[in-house]
Amino acid sequence: MDISKIKTLGQLKASKYKSRSIKDEIRTNLKERLAKGDDSYEGILGFEDSVIPDLERALLSKHNILLLGLRGQAKTRIARLTTKLLDDYIPVITGADLNDDPLNPISTSALDLIAEHGDETPITWLKSEDRYIEKLATPDVSISDLVGDVDPIKAATLKLPYSDPRVIHYGLIPRSHRCIFVLNELPDLQARIQVALFNILQEGDMQIRGFKLRLPLDILFVFTANPEDYTNRGSIITPLKDRIESQILTHYPKTIEIAKHITEQEAIIAPDIKDSIRIPEVIRDLLEKIVFEARDSELVDEKSGVSARLSISALENLYSTVEHRMLKNKEKSGTVRIADLVGIIPSITGKVELVYEGEQEGPYGVALLLMSKAIKELFLEFFEHPDRSAKKNEKDPYGPIRTWFSVGNEVNILNGANQKDYEAILDNVTGLDKIIDGLKPNTEDRHLFKEFVLHGLAETEAISKDQLDRSLNFSDPLANMFDELNN
């Protein structure tokens, strides 16, 4: 059907176009996708065996949907992607107050236009991406915002009494006729406003300033919310919750691998920066482990959640940290170091809500603690714990390194050190080469793993580590103590 040639109601009738509800439309298109094996929610990772099947079943059942989950769990992204299941275009009556179906008009303005123009009533074609309406529920949202109100200016201009339905100014929900309407953070909506949604969801009835309108609105409602048990800001009243047919629980990525793919997909990095800066896989693992540690930490409020935006923002900051160093040192390429993680601290402090104990520690202290725990956990996946060989009465593989530090040697890595100086500092530490030989790392990752060993030894208390303003210092605390006594 060539829609460019269909511009009037009469032409639409002649084309034998058949109207269908938005839920039938989505159901039909989803069935076709499933039959072809196509991905119905492309770009949503980690939900393939949980959220997406539940969502597809709900849409096949023609249900309104409530997505329950903590922040940063792709709830709004899912709602927006649902527009991909709509038809590319649908016809609407030009000039009507609502997105009226020319073959099944419901608004007074549409009925009046058809009565006046008949088959010459002009129509336009509405794109699928324009059929998405989103509203953030806040305590100041009113019934008139969502449902509508009497417009006294329209009444005066048209010289109509307030009893005439033509003086009504429709709110967002009626204007979402034949669209997807998304109401984010539903618990924040006042209870009396939630009550106004009852009949709209079930019967299509609306009441505006005493007008009781019977408008069979054709809308797919998608609500998002934090689970009720997790929020103190409000709740979803039970009768409303009962009218939302399907409630689907979202979740954070369950594995480091999935989390890495999401972070890489969502981070906004300029192509030239990606080409000039290399991030080894161990660093990407470490970044995600920091986020996982934050979600499990007793210092972070689990009811608030730790958004996937933390790792996305952290990756962007990590690139910028290396870029900053490259610009200072006039280098054309660079590789991320573990010491560069100091650059992601603003991403952590701005993305976590702390409990009382965390507030006592302070945001900066909590960020350092989360990084330390992640480094230790990842270090023990690659290397043996320094205390284990001593308990087995085996030769200590870290012995040469301990000895090097015990005689008063230190490692001081400046945040902005150029690559040559960085490598020279690490090459000077006796025993590091032998430790990492067993891993057989890429040549370009060799110095990164040397630094990794030092961080791991510090986190397992074999040596000490001090995070200074402009550098990172590794040393033997006992050696330093003896030096002070000798002086």
- Show me where the domains of the chain are located: 3-249, 252-382, 391-487
The first and second tokens of residue 136, run together, are 């953030």
Taking the C-alpha atoms of residue 459 and residue 455, their distance in angstroms, rounded to an integer, is: 6
Taking the C-alpha atoms of residue 51 and residue 67, their distance in angstroms, rounded to an integer, is: 9
Taking the C-alpha atoms of residue 279 and residue 336, their distance in angstroms, rounded to an integer, is: 5
Query: What kind and span of H or E run contains 471?
Result: strand 471-475
Which parts of the chain have pLDDT scores under 50?
Answer: 229-231, 482, 484-485, 487
Q: Looking at residue 485, what is its pLDDT? A: 43
Helices (H), 330-445: 345-349, 356-361, 363-382, 386-391, 399-406, 419-427, 432-437
Q: Hey, how many other C-beta atoms are within 10 angstroms of the C-beta on 201?
A: 17
Contact 375, 283 (CB under 8 A): no
Q: Hey, how many other C-beta atoms are within 10 angstroms of the C-beta on 339?
A: 19
The first and second tokens of residue 413, run together, are 């890595």
- Tally the residues of the chain: 487
State the Cα angle at 322 between 320 and 324, rounded to 5°.
65
Q: Kindly tell me the burial class for residue 332, based on how many C-beta atoms sit within 10 Å of its own C-beta (0-12, 13-18, 19 or more).
A: exposed
Q: Hey, how many other C-beta atoms are within 10 angstroms of the C-beta on 335?
A: 17
Q: Tell which residue, 213, 215, 177, has the closest CA to residue 99.
A: 177
Which residues have C-beta within 8 Å of that of residue 261, sequence separation ≥ 6? 45
Q: Kindly tell me the burial class for residue 81, based on how many C-beta atoms sit within 10 Å of its own C-beta (0-12, 13-18, 19 or more).
A: middle
Summarised one tens digit per residue, pLDDT across range 91-101 is 999 999 899 99
Pairing of strands 179-184, 205-208: unpaired
Taking the C-alpha atoms of residue 161 and residue 468, their distance in angstroms, rounded to an integer, is: 74
Q: Tell which residue, 171, 173, 160, has the closest CA to residue 112.
A: 160
Q: Looking at residue 209, what is its pLDDT? A: 65
Taking the C-alpha atoms of residue 82 and residue 172, their distance in angstroms, rounded to an integer, is: 19
State the Cα angle at 133 between 130 and 135, rounded to 5°.
155
Taking the C-alpha atoms of residue 366 and residue 375, their distance in angstroms, rounded to an integer, is: 14
Same fold, 3-249 and 252-382: no
Taking the C-alpha atoms of residue 400 and residue 293, their distance in angstroms, rounded to an integer, is: 32
- Domain 3-249 sits in CATH at 3.40.50.300
Q: 256-266 vs 281-296: helix axis angle to the nearest 10?
A: 110
Question: DSSP for 161-217?
Answer: -TTSGGGEEE-TTGGGTTEEEEEESGGGS-HHHHHTTHHHHHT-EEEETTEEEE---
Q: Give the three-state DSSP class for 111.
A: helix
**Selecting from 1.25.40.10, 3.20.20.140, 1.10.8.80, 3.40.50.720, what CATH number does the domain 252-382 have?**
1.10.8.80
pTM, two decimal places:
0.86
Q: Looking at residue 3, what is its pLDDT? A: 84
Q: Give the three-state DSSP class for 327.
A: helix
Q: Give residue 459's Cα distance to chain centre.
A: 31
Strand partners, 355: none
Q: Looking at residue 163, what is its pLDDT? A: 65
Summarised one tens digit per residue, pLDDT across range 408-461 is 899 999 989 999 999 999 999 999 999 998 888 888 899 999 999 999 999 999
Q: Kindly tell me the burial class for residue 487, based on how many C-beta atoms sit within 10 Å of its own C-beta (0-12, 13-18, 19 or more).
A: exposed
Place of tokens 């006729």: 177
Which residues have C-beta within 8 Å of that of residue 229, sequence separation ≥ 6? none
